[in-house]
Structure 1
Amino acid sequence: MTTVLERPWSNRQLAELGKAIRAGREAPKGVPEYEEVMLWYSELLTPVQQRIQNTDWSALGLGNVQGFELTSRVKTQSTLRDKLNRYPSQKLQTIRDIAGVRFEADMTLSQQNAIVLAMLGLFHDSSEGRVIDLRENDQHGYRAVHVEFRFGPPTHARVELQVRTLLQGKWANLYETAADLFGREIRYAEAGDLLGGRDIVEMLKELSRDRIATIEELLDRTVQLERSYVNMGDISILPLEIQEQVGWVVDRLQAIRENVGHRKDRLRVSIENMTDVLKQATGSRRGDAQE
């Protein structure tokens, strides 16, 4: 990494902090506070994010800085407590997504694969880079590709990189909004019956697994086929009949790509509208609770 940060606490100290967070009590003497540890993780994310930000991604068709959205975050104490309670045997220092960077772009699945491979090379100084592909085997509808980086001594820390397409990111935001309305449990288990939550959550999962996945796969295959024909080189040496057939195929593939692109845009707008509706419902519910 550009800046090497030395972790100032031992595994035992972080494990004790994890126990305190899990139990909802203050950290014991000689153990760092949650805020202190998260500040260190935030500092760790800075060089990670800078390295990604300063990379020229134009070779992958994403442009440089303008072609993608890059954000970072550390886990809040409440979400960290939820995770520690869900996995009672897990120690705080072994949680892979305490610190995370999110890379999101309007890209195809093949470009997403290329980004992941590039990230592995970009952080070659990581002691371990593990790819977790959630596109085929989603988590309650959530689809993306995650890369877990484990930085060795003296850093001794993990950073999770989330790589999402535009639709994967829009859906994730929609589901987070649904979690605000129906409860955070929907991210890990079935939704309750509050406000018809179960049916809505199942519909959102199907939206990701069916419509979004289908459009992304169709667009990716079409772009790859179109590219293969366009890159055939000089076809003027081929018989005129073959040239015409190639031209017809290219025209058809372009038309299909444009049609799928329009469908993707309409789906994006629908997801954004659904997110707004759920946000309004959440606001109304909170208002009713305060009366």
Structure 2
Amino acid sequence: MKKWVVPEHSNKAVQRASRTIGRGTGTPEEVQAARAVLSNYRLAHAFPLNAVTVTVRQRALDVNPNAVVAERRKRLPTILDKLRRHPTMSVTTMQDLGGCRVVFHSVAEVEKLVAILRDLPRSKNRVKKVYDYLRDDPGPRDSGYRGVHLVYEYGASKKEYKGLRIELQVRTLLQHAWATAVETMDLFSGSELKYGKGDPDVLRFFVLVASLMAHEEGTAPVPGAEGSTEELAAELMRLEMDVGVLERLRGYASIVGEHARTDRRNTLTLELWRSEGILTVTVHETLADAEARITELEAMDDEDLDAVLINIARISQLRDAYPNYFADTGRFTDFVESRI
């Protein structure tokens, strides 16, 4: 039987810990204590995340039996970095400490699942907000990111978790390929394209690809890239000649290795050492073992290490759910090459 982590601190204590990290003014002891508070709060999202994922998985597989469904806890270094970038923020307002992801083949499948989940009767874990980055509410981000996000609030039987929020991302294969390529660039090069930072030509490259994908899928284009497919492709070709994004992505793919391919439900950790290009996938027998390992890795505070805890129904789908850790951007590069 799983032993779920419960929140051990009040919201006010979590908010104080967030400020300690965000402002960067605490003593080493105060910073360490703040990290421990935030780590507990993050890990306490595992139970509500599991509760939401059970419902989402069932409904997603009803829409398409081949849908990829996975869940993950937000990495502690990512949380700490966000607090430093936004010193007035508290993790109690973050909606994605626990995240579930569904990847479908088509926009129609994405929209069908979203419609089902929004109107699910008798669900105590309520959808509080829907962000449609495909059409009009709010539409594609300026960066080119596309997909649909649903924010859940836990409200079922376990009172200690009430009010904790979980984010569901629903994407098509193309939308997932785009996001994966951006994350792979950031993961292996140390850039921050995901946050709109970096070489303007590389950022523009991804905006153009996103708009071409939107044309392909019949959804709204990215702001600032509303031209015809011919105009977008011509600009994209010029940028590729200048900055060589595809060449870089192919270079990162050299680290891809073979990993376990069983078909039972697995909790695992991924450890990527960027400079050596070494990826280790460890399957854990219990959630507690996985949480202990991820806590140990994050305590190293090494910028060269990227570690994440993942729960997935079939490990054979791991590469489909998190291809950025395998530098697997084949679908993205194939799409771009077919357009330029």
Q: TM-score, normalised by structure 1?
A: 0.64
C-alpha separation in 1, matches of 2:111 and 2:103 = 13
TM-aligned CA distance change 1:169 to 1:279, over 3 Å = same
In the alignment, which residue of structure 2 is the partner of 1:277? 250
TM-fit CA distance, 1:71 = 1.1
Code of the residue aligned with 1:279 in structure 2: it is Y
1:191 is aligned to 198
Answer whether contact 1:183 1:191 (CA < 8 A) is retained.
no
Matched residues in 1 for 2:75 and 2:183: separation? 15
* Distance (whole Å) between structure 2 residues aligned to residue 282 and residue 190 of structure 1: 25
| Cα distance change of structure 1 residues 184 and 37 upon mapping to structure 2, 3 Å threshold | farther
Instruction: Tell whether 2:230 aligns with 1:203.
Output: no
Question: Given the superposition, is the C-alpha separation of residues 37 and 131 from structure 1 closer, same or farther in structure 2, using an over 3 Å criterion?
Answer: same
| Residue in 2 that maps onto 1:73 | 72
How far residue 157 of structure 1 moved from its aligned partner, in angstroms, is: 0.6
Shift, 1:82, TM fit = 2.1
SS of alignment partner, residue 138 of structure 1: coil
Unaligned 5+ residue runs, structure 2?
Answer: 220-245, 257-273, 278-303, 305-340
Paired amino acid for 1:217: G
The yes-or-no answer on 1:18 pairing with 2:18 is yes
The CA RMSD measured in Å over matched residues stands at 3.2
1:159 CA drift (Å): 0.5
Greater C-alpha Rg: 1
Separation of aligned partners in 2, 1:275 and 1:114:
36
Greater fraction of residues in strand: 2
C-alpha displacement of 1:176: 0.4
| Counterpart in the other structure of 1:163 | 170
Distance 1:164 1:76 in 2: 21
1:16 maps to amino acid: R
Q: CA deviation at 1:181?
A: 4.0
Matches within 5 A, 1:119-158: 119-122=117-120, 124-135=123-134, 136-152=139-155, 154=160, 155-158=162-165
1:7-31 deviation digits (Å, cap 9, x = unpaired): 4432112112222333382125xx9
TM-score, length of structure 2 as denominator length = 0.56
* Distance in structure 2 (CA, Å) of the matches to 1:168 and 1:10: 38
Matched-pair contact (CA < 8 Å) for 2:147–2:175: yes
1:37 maps onto 2:48 in alignment: no
Q: Note if contact 1:133-1:144 (Cα within 8 Å) is conserved in structure 2.
A: yes
Q: 1:53 to 1:13 in 2, by over 3 A?
A: same
Paired with 2:215 and 2:127, the residues of 1 have a C-alpha distance of 32
Contact (CA 8 Å) 1:178, 1:278: kept in 2 or not?
Answer: no
Amino acid in structure 1 at the alignment position of 2:119: G
Contact 1:178/1:201 (CA < 8 Å) preserved in 2? Answer: no
1:286 matches 2:287: no
Gap change, CA 1:115 and 1:132, over 3 Å in 2: same
Which structure carries more helix by proportion? 1
2:215 equivalent to 1:214:
yes
SS of aligned partner of 1:100: strand
Counterpart in the other structure of 1:228: none
Superimposed CA distance per residue, residues 127-147 of structure 1 (whole angstroms, 9 cap, x where no aligned partner): 552000112332511111001
Summarize the Cα distance change of 1:56–1:85 in structure 2 as closer, same or farther, 3 Å threshold: closer
Q: Which residue identity is paired with 1:90?
A: M
Q: Give unmatched runs, 5+ long, in structure 1.
A: 193-197, 219-272
Q: Which amino acid aligns with 1:33?
A: V
Superposed displacement of residue 202, structure 1: 1.8
Cα distance, 1:39–1:175 mapped onto 2, change above 3 Å: same
Q: Which residue, out of 160, 184, 187, partners 1:180?
A: 187
How far 1:184 moved relative to its partner? 4.2
Aligned residue pairs, count: 217
Aligned residues of 2:19 and 2:88 also touching (Cα < 8 A): no
Contact 1:148 1:161 in 2 (8 A): yes
Shift in Å at residue 286 of structure 1?
Answer: 3.0
What is residue 98 of structure 1 aligned with on the other side? 97
SS of structure 1 residue aligned to 2:89: coil
Q: What CA distance in whole angstroms lies between the structure 2 residues aligned with 1:55 and 1:77? A: 30
Q: Which amino acid aligns with 1:87?
A: H
Identity, % of aligned positions? 24
Q: Quick check: 1:99–1:160 contact (8 Å CA) kept in 2?
A: yes
Q: Whole-Å Cα distance in 1 between the matches of residues 58 and 97 of structure 2?
A: 24
Is the Cα contact below 8 Å between 2:49 and 2:99 reproduced in 1? yes
Query: How far apart are 1:158 and its partner, in Å?
Result: 0.7
SS of 1:27's equivalent in the other structure is helix
